[in-house]
Structure 1
Protein backbone atom coordinates (compact mmCIF):
# COMPACT_ATOMS: atom_id res chain seq x y z
CA UNK A 1 0.00 0.00 0.00
CA UNK A 2 2.85 2.39 0.79
CA UNK A 3 5.82 3.17 -1.40
CA UNK A 4 9.35 2.97 -0.07
CA UNK A 5 9.31 6.78 0.28
CA UNK A 6 6.07 6.62 2.31
CA UNK A 7 7.56 4.00 4.64
CA UNK A 8 10.78 5.97 5.04
CA UNK A 9 9.00 9.26 5.69
CA UNK A 10 6.70 7.70 8.27
CA UNK A 11 9.49 5.89 10.13
CA UNK A 12 11.87 8.85 10.08
CA UNK A 13 9.13 11.22 11.28
CA UNK A 14 8.39 8.96 14.25
CA UNK A 15 12.03 8.16 15.07
CA UNK A 16 13.27 11.74 14.68
CA UNK A 17 10.73 13.23 17.07
CA UNK A 18 12.63 14.88 19.91
CA UNK A 19 16.10 14.06 18.54
CA UNK A 20 18.87 16.62 18.75
CA UNK A 21 20.99 17.58 15.73
CA UNK A 22 23.84 15.23 16.75
CA UNK A 23 21.46 12.25 16.94
CA UNK A 24 19.93 13.14 13.55
CA UNK A 25 23.45 13.34 12.05
CA UNK A 26 24.10 9.87 13.47
CA UNK A 27 20.91 8.61 11.83
CA UNK A 28 22.03 10.09 8.49
CA UNK A 29 25.32 8.20 8.78
CA UNK A 30 23.56 4.99 9.80
CA UNK A 31 21.15 5.27 6.86
CA UNK A 32 24.06 5.80 4.47
CA UNK A 33 25.73 2.61 5.74
CA UNK A 34 22.50 0.60 5.57
CA UNK A 35 21.77 1.93 2.07
CA UNK A 36 25.21 0.82 0.94
CA UNK A 37 24.87 -2.62 2.62
CA UNK A 38 21.43 -3.37 1.20
CA UNK A 39 22.48 -2.20 -2.28
CA UNK A 40 25.51 -4.53 -2.10
CA UNK A 41 23.36 -7.43 -0.91
CA UNK A 42 20.96 -6.75 -3.78
CA UNK A 43 23.83 -6.89 -6.28
CA UNK A 44 25.01 -10.22 -4.79
CA UNK A 45 21.49 -11.64 -4.80
CA UNK A 46 19.60 -13.66 -2.23
CA UNK A 47 17.52 -12.64 0.76
CA UNK A 48 18.87 -9.91 2.99
CA UNK A 49 17.80 -11.69 6.17
CA UNK A 50 15.52 -14.50 7.25
CA UNK A 51 12.79 -11.91 7.97
CA UNK A 52 13.14 -9.81 4.84
CA UNK A 53 12.47 -11.74 1.64
CA UNK A 54 12.42 -8.81 -0.80
CA UNK A 55 15.91 -7.31 -1.05
CA UNK A 56 14.82 -4.78 -3.70
CA UNK A 57 12.17 -3.29 -1.40
CA UNK A 58 14.55 -3.17 1.58
CA UNK A 59 17.22 -1.45 -0.52
CA UNK A 60 14.65 1.06 -1.80
CA UNK A 61 13.44 1.78 1.75
CA UNK A 62 16.98 2.38 3.05
CA UNK A 63 17.76 4.65 0.11
CA UNK A 64 14.57 6.60 0.84
CA UNK A 65 15.39 6.73 4.56
CA UNK A 66 18.81 8.14 3.76
CA UNK A 67 17.19 10.87 1.65
CA UNK A 68 14.62 11.61 4.38
CA UNK A 69 17.15 11.75 7.21
CA UNK A 70 19.22 14.20 5.15
CA UNK A 71 16.09 16.30 4.53
CA UNK A 72 15.36 16.40 8.27
CA UNK A 73 18.99 17.32 9.05
CA UNK A 74 18.98 20.09 6.42
CA UNK A 75 15.62 21.41 7.66
CA UNK A 76 16.91 21.55 11.23
CA UNK A 77 20.05 23.35 10.07
CA UNK A 78 18.15 25.93 7.97
CA UNK A 79 15.50 26.53 10.66
CA UNK A 80 18.01 26.56 13.49
CA UNK A 81 16.17 23.88 15.47
CA UNK A 82 18.01 22.21 18.32
CA UNK A 83 15.47 19.35 18.39
CA UNK A 84 13.28 17.92 15.63
CA UNK A 85 9.57 18.49 16.17
CA UNK A 86 7.39 16.76 13.55
CA UNK A 87 4.53 19.25 14.03
CA UNK A 88 6.77 22.12 12.90
CA UNK A 89 7.89 20.21 9.77
CA UNK A 90 5.43 21.57 7.19
CA UNK A 91 6.54 19.30 4.35
CA UNK A 92 6.67 16.19 6.55
CA UNK A 93 3.27 16.97 8.03
CA UNK A 94 1.74 17.36 4.56
CA UNK A 95 3.15 13.99 3.52
CA UNK A 96 1.81 12.40 6.70
CA UNK A 97 -1.68 13.80 6.01
CA UNK A 98 -1.55 12.52 2.42
CA UNK A 99 -0.53 9.04 3.61
CA UNK A 100 -3.33 9.00 6.17
CA UNK A 101 -5.88 10.14 3.56
CA UNK A 102 -4.73 7.42 1.14
CA UNK A 103 -4.87 4.84 3.93
CA UNK A 104 -8.38 5.94 4.91
CA UNK A 105 -9.45 5.76 1.26
CA UNK A 106 -8.06 2.25 0.86
CA UNK A 107 -9.72 1.11 4.09
CA UNK A 108 -13.05 2.64 3.03
CA UNK A 109 -12.85 0.97 -0.39
CA UNK A 110 -12.04 -2.36 1.26
CA UNK A 111 -14.96 -2.00 3.67
CA UNK A 112 -17.30 -1.19 0.77
CA UNK A 113 -16.02 -4.22 -1.14
CA UNK A 114 -16.57 -6.47 1.88
CA UNK A 115 -20.10 -5.08 2.33
CA UNK A 116 -20.91 -5.76 -1.34
CA UNK A 117 -19.47 -9.26 -1.01
CA UNK A 118 -21.60 -9.97 2.09
CA UNK A 119 -24.70 -8.62 0.35
CA UNK A 120 -23.88 -10.73 -2.69
CA UNK A 121 -23.71 -13.83 -0.51
CA UNK A 122 -27.35 -13.23 0.47
CA UNK A 123 -28.47 -12.86 -3.14
CA UNK A 124 -29.74 -15.73 -5.20
CA UNK A 125 -29.29 -15.77 -8.92
CA UNK A 126 -31.28 -18.43 -10.68
CA UNK A 127 -32.06 -19.40 -14.20
CA UNK A 128 -35.65 -20.54 -14.53
CA UNK A 129 -37.00 -22.68 -17.35
CA UNK A 130 -40.78 -22.82 -17.57
CA UNK A 131 -42.82 -25.03 -19.83
CA UNK A 132 -44.98 -23.36 -22.48
CA UNK A 133 -48.22 -22.98 -20.48
CA UNK A 134 -46.78 -21.39 -17.31
CA UNK A 135 -44.44 -19.30 -19.46
CA UNK A 136 -47.40 -17.85 -21.39
CA UNK A 137 -49.16 -17.02 -18.10
CA UNK A 138 -46.10 -15.22 -16.72
CA UNK A 139 -45.58 -13.30 -19.97
CA UNK A 140 -49.24 -12.29 -20.14
CA UNK A 141 -49.33 -11.14 -16.49
CA UNK A 142 -46.08 -9.23 -16.94
CA UNK A 143 -47.40 -7.59 -20.11
CA UNK A 144 -50.60 -6.46 -18.39
CA UNK A 145 -48.60 -5.07 -15.46
CA UNK A 146 -46.09 -3.34 -17.75
CA UNK A 147 -43.05 -5.12 -16.30
CA UNK A 148 -40.57 -7.61 -17.70
CA UNK A 149 -41.28 -11.29 -16.95
CA UNK A 150 -38.12 -11.50 -14.85
CA UNK A 151 -39.33 -8.53 -12.74
CA UNK A 152 -42.71 -10.21 -12.22
CA UNK A 153 -41.00 -13.42 -11.08
CA UNK A 154 -38.75 -11.44 -8.70
CA UNK A 155 -41.81 -9.74 -7.19
CA UNK A 156 -43.50 -13.13 -6.83
CA UNK A 157 -40.43 -14.49 -5.05
CA UNK A 158 -40.32 -11.50 -2.69
CA UNK A 159 -43.87 -12.25 -1.55
CA UNK A 160 -43.51 -15.99 -0.98
CA UNK A 161 -45.00 -17.23 2.27
CA UNK A 162 -43.98 -20.61 3.69
CA UNK A 163 -46.57 -22.18 5.96
CA UNK A 164 -45.81 -24.19 9.08
CA UNK A 165 -46.59 -27.38 7.18
CA UNK A 166 -44.09 -26.40 4.44
CA UNK A 167 -46.61 -25.23 1.89
CA UNK A 168 -45.52 -22.37 -0.31
CA UNK A 169 -47.94 -19.69 -1.44
CA UNK A 170 -48.06 -16.13 -2.69
CA UNK A 171 -50.89 -13.90 -1.51
CA UNK A 172 -52.64 -11.90 -4.25
CA UNK A 173 -50.80 -8.73 -5.21
CA UNK A 174 -50.58 -6.21 -8.04
CA UNK A 175 -47.17 -6.11 -9.71
CA UNK A 176 -45.48 -2.72 -9.64
CA UNK A 177 -42.93 -1.09 -11.88
Structure 2
Protein backbone atom coordinates (compact mmCIF):
# COMPACT_ATOMS: atom_id res chain seq x y z
CA UNK A 1 0.00 0.00 0.00
CA UNK A 2 1.23 3.50 -0.82
CA UNK A 3 0.16 6.61 1.16
CA UNK A 4 0.68 9.96 -0.60
CA UNK A 5 0.23 13.45 0.76
CA UNK A 6 -1.04 16.22 -1.59
CA UNK A 7 1.32 18.98 -2.69
CA UNK A 8 1.19 22.51 -1.30
CA UNK A 9 -1.16 25.02 -2.93
CA UNK A 10 0.12 27.42 -5.59
CA UNK A 11 1.32 30.88 -4.67
CA UNK A 12 -1.19 33.73 -4.93
CA UNK A 13 -1.51 36.36 -7.62
CA UNK A 14 -0.31 39.95 -7.51
CA UNK A 15 -1.96 42.16 -4.96
CA UNK A 16 -2.21 45.25 -7.19
CA UNK A 17 -3.02 45.62 -10.87
CA UNK A 18 -1.03 47.88 -13.18
CA UNK A 19 -3.75 50.52 -12.72
CA UNK A 20 -3.42 50.28 -8.94
CA UNK A 21 0.35 50.75 -9.13
CA UNK A 22 0.02 53.68 -11.53
CA UNK A 23 -2.70 55.41 -9.51
CA UNK A 24 -0.73 55.05 -6.27
CA UNK A 25 2.49 56.38 -7.78
CA UNK A 26 0.79 59.27 -9.58
CA UNK A 27 -1.16 60.24 -6.46
CA UNK A 28 2.06 60.46 -4.44
CA UNK A 29 4.16 62.13 -7.16
CA UNK A 30 1.50 64.67 -8.14
CA UNK A 31 1.02 66.00 -4.62
CA UNK A 32 1.71 69.74 -4.68
CA UNK A 33 2.46 69.95 -8.43
CA UNK A 34 0.89 72.68 -10.55
CA UNK A 35 -0.87 72.17 -13.89
CA UNK A 36 2.32 72.88 -15.90
CA UNK A 37 4.29 70.25 -13.95
CA UNK A 38 1.42 67.78 -14.37
CA UNK A 39 1.45 68.47 -18.15
CA UNK A 40 5.17 67.61 -18.18
CA UNK A 41 4.40 64.34 -16.36
CA UNK A 42 1.72 63.53 -18.98
CA UNK A 43 4.27 64.08 -21.77
CA UNK A 44 6.91 62.01 -19.97
CA UNK A 45 4.44 59.17 -19.40
CA UNK A 46 3.44 59.26 -23.08
CA UNK A 47 7.10 58.81 -24.08
CA UNK A 48 7.64 55.96 -21.58
CA UNK A 49 4.39 54.30 -22.67
CA UNK A 50 5.54 54.40 -26.31
CA UNK A 51 9.05 53.14 -25.42
CA UNK A 52 7.80 50.21 -23.33
CA UNK A 53 5.26 49.29 -26.02
CA UNK A 54 8.06 49.24 -28.62
CA UNK A 55 10.28 47.20 -26.33
CA UNK A 56 7.41 44.78 -25.77
CA UNK A 57 7.13 44.29 -29.52
CA UNK A 58 10.86 43.52 -29.58
CA UNK A 59 11.98 46.83 -31.10
CA UNK A 60 14.14 47.82 -28.16
CA UNK A 61 16.11 46.35 -25.31
CA UNK A 62 15.06 46.26 -21.70
CA UNK A 63 17.54 46.47 -18.91
CA UNK A 64 18.55 43.04 -17.67
CA UNK A 65 16.74 43.48 -14.37
CA UNK A 66 13.40 44.27 -16.05
CA UNK A 67 12.01 40.78 -16.28
CA UNK A 68 8.32 41.41 -16.89
CA UNK A 69 7.98 43.43 -20.08
CA UNK A 70 4.19 43.12 -20.20
CA UNK A 71 3.81 44.43 -16.67
CA UNK A 72 6.14 47.37 -17.28
CA UNK A 73 4.28 48.32 -20.47
CA UNK A 74 0.90 47.98 -18.73
CA UNK A 75 2.03 50.18 -15.83
CA UNK A 76 3.26 52.94 -18.15
CA UNK A 77 0.02 52.78 -20.13
CA UNK A 78 -1.92 53.14 -16.87
CA UNK A 79 0.39 55.93 -15.60
CA UNK A 80 -0.14 57.90 -18.79
CA UNK A 81 -3.92 57.55 -18.43
CA UNK A 82 -3.79 58.53 -14.74
CA UNK A 83 -1.60 61.59 -15.34
CA UNK A 84 -4.09 62.67 -18.02
CA UNK A 85 -6.99 62.14 -15.60
CA UNK A 86 -5.26 64.25 -12.93
CA UNK A 87 -4.48 66.99 -15.46
CA UNK A 88 -8.09 67.03 -16.74
CA UNK A 89 -9.47 66.96 -13.19
CA UNK A 90 -7.28 69.90 -12.12
CA UNK A 91 -8.23 71.89 -15.21
CA UNK A 92 -11.97 71.22 -14.70
CA UNK A 93 -11.79 71.97 -10.97
CA UNK A 94 -9.64 75.07 -11.53
CA UNK A 95 -6.94 73.94 -9.10
CA UNK A 96 -3.56 75.64 -8.94
CA UNK A 97 -1.86 72.60 -7.35
CA UNK A 98 -2.85 68.98 -6.95
CA UNK A 99 -4.07 67.91 -3.51
CA UNK A 100 -4.61 64.13 -3.33
CA UNK A 101 -7.04 64.35 -0.40
CA UNK A 102 -9.36 66.63 -2.44
CA UNK A 103 -9.40 64.28 -5.44
CA UNK A 104 -12.55 62.28 -4.65
CA UNK A 105 -12.09 59.61 -7.35
CA UNK A 106 -8.40 59.21 -6.51
CA UNK A 107 -9.27 58.97 -2.80
CA UNK A 108 -11.86 56.24 -3.47
CA UNK A 109 -9.27 54.25 -5.42
CA UNK A 110 -6.68 54.79 -2.69
CA UNK A 111 -9.08 53.46 -0.02
CA UNK A 112 -9.88 50.43 -2.19
CA UNK A 113 -6.15 49.74 -2.66
CA UNK A 114 -5.54 50.03 1.08
CA UNK A 115 -8.40 47.62 1.81
CA UNK A 116 -7.00 45.10 -0.71
CA UNK A 117 -3.52 45.54 0.78
CA UNK A 118 -4.80 45.00 4.32
CA UNK A 119 -6.70 41.90 3.17
CA UNK A 120 -3.63 40.56 1.39
CA UNK A 121 -1.42 41.21 4.44
CA UNK A 122 -3.92 39.37 6.65
CA UNK A 123 -4.10 36.47 4.19
CA UNK A 124 -0.30 36.36 3.96
CA UNK A 125 -0.10 36.28 7.76
CA UNK A 126 -2.47 33.32 7.80
CA UNK A 127 -0.37 31.56 5.15
CA UNK A 128 2.76 32.25 7.18
CA UNK A 129 1.14 30.79 10.29
CA UNK A 130 0.09 27.70 8.34
CA UNK A 131 3.59 27.34 6.93
CA UNK A 132 4.99 27.61 10.44
CA UNK A 133 2.74 24.74 11.46
CA UNK A 134 3.64 22.84 8.28
CA UNK A 135 7.32 23.13 9.15
CA UNK A 136 6.62 20.80 12.07
CA UNK A 137 4.54 18.46 9.94
CA UNK A 138 5.98 15.34 8.41
CA UNK A 139 4.94 14.37 4.93
CA UNK A 140 5.83 10.82 4.10
CA UNK A 141 5.32 8.12 1.54
CA UNK A 142 4.93 4.74 3.21
CA UNK A 143 5.26 1.36 1.56
CA UNK A 144 3.73 -1.54 3.47
CA UNK A 145 3.95 -5.24 2.78
CA UNK A 146 0.90 -6.87 1.24
CA UNK A 147 -0.15 -8.40 4.58
CA UNK A 148 0.24 -5.11 6.49
CA UNK A 149 -1.51 -3.21 3.72
CA UNK A 150 -4.49 -5.61 3.84
CA UNK A 151 -4.76 -5.18 7.62
CA UNK A 152 -4.66 -1.41 7.25
CA UNK A 153 -7.40 -1.49 4.62
CA UNK A 154 -9.62 -3.68 6.78
CA UNK A 155 -9.17 -1.40 9.81
CA UNK A 156 -9.80 1.69 7.67
CA UNK A 157 -12.92 0.20 6.05
CA UNK A 158 -14.38 -0.73 9.45
CA UNK A 159 -13.78 2.83 10.73
CA UNK A 160 -15.02 4.44 7.50
CA UNK A 161 -11.62 6.05 6.93
CA UNK A 162 -8.92 6.03 4.28
CA UNK A 163 -5.79 4.04 5.16
CA UNK A 164 -3.77 7.29 5.29
CA UNK A 165 -6.18 8.63 7.95
CA UNK A 166 -5.67 5.53 10.10
CA UNK A 167 -1.92 5.91 9.69
CA UNK A 168 -2.14 9.56 10.77
CA UNK A 169 -4.14 8.61 13.88
CA UNK A 170 -1.63 5.87 14.64
CA UNK A 171 1.25 8.36 14.33
CA UNK A 172 -0.48 10.87 16.63
CA UNK A 173 -0.53 8.26 19.42
CA UNK A 174 3.13 7.22 19.26
CA UNK A 175 4.81 7.00 22.65
CA UNK A 176 8.61 7.02 22.91
CA UNK A 177 10.00 5.35 26.00
CA UNK A 178 13.02 6.56 27.97
CA UNK A 179 15.09 3.82 26.37
CA UNK A 180 14.04 4.96 22.87
CA UNK A 181 11.48 2.22 22.29
CA UNK A 182 8.44 3.22 20.23
CA UNK A 183 4.96 1.93 20.99
CA UNK A 184 1.33 2.82 20.38
CA UNK A 185 -1.27 2.14 23.08
CA UNK A 186 -4.36 0.29 21.86
CA UNK A 187 -6.95 2.60 20.28
CA UNK A 188 -9.93 2.45 17.95
CA UNK A 189 -9.60 4.59 14.79
CA UNK A 190 -12.50 7.01 14.45
CA UNK A 191 -13.69 9.83 12.21
Q: TM-score, normalised by structure 2?
A: 0.67
Counterpart Cα distance in 1 of 2:69 and 2:166: 60
What are structure 1's unaligned runs of at least 5 residues? none
Do residues 21 (structure 1) and 35 (structure 2) align? yes
Could you tell me which of 47, 56, 67 is aligned with 1:33? 47
Could you tell me which of 83, 86, 93 is aligned with 2:107? 93
Aligned-pair distance for 1:176?
Answer: 5.3
| Residue number in structure 1 paired with 2:78 | 64
Counterpart Cα distance in 1 of 2:67 and 2:148: 66
Counterpart Cα distance in 1 of 2:50 and 2:27: 22
Counterpart Cα distance in 1 of 2:57 and 2:18: 19
Aligned-pair distance for 1:77?
Answer: 1.7
Q: Deviations over 1:150-177 (max 9, x none)?
A: 4555444322221111122334556655
Aligned-pair distance for 1:15?
Answer: 0.1
Counterpart Cα distance in 1 of 2:185 and 2:95: 79
Could you tell me which of 42, 50, 60 is aligned with 1:46? 60
8 Å contact kept, 2:152–2:166? no
Q: Deviations over 1:92-144 (max 9, x none)?
A: 1222222233333444444444444444441344546367599669957x95x
Do residues 83 (structure 1) and 104 (structure 2) align? no
* Greater radius of gyration (CA): 1
SS of residue paired to 1:73: helix
Counterpart Cα distance in 2 of 1:131 and 1:34: 67
SS of residue paired to 1:45: coil
Q: TM-score, normalised by structure 1?
A: 0.71
Aligned-pair distance for 1:42?
Answer: 4.6
Further displaced range: 97-106 or 11-20:
97-106
What are structure 2's unaligned runs of at least 5 residues? 1-13
Do residues 123 (structure 1) and 126 (structure 2) align? no
SS of residue paired to 2:32: coil
Identify, as 1 or 2, the structure richer in helix.
1
Q: Which has the higher contact order (CA 8 A, sep 6+)?
A: 2
CA RMSD, aligned part only? Answer: 3.6
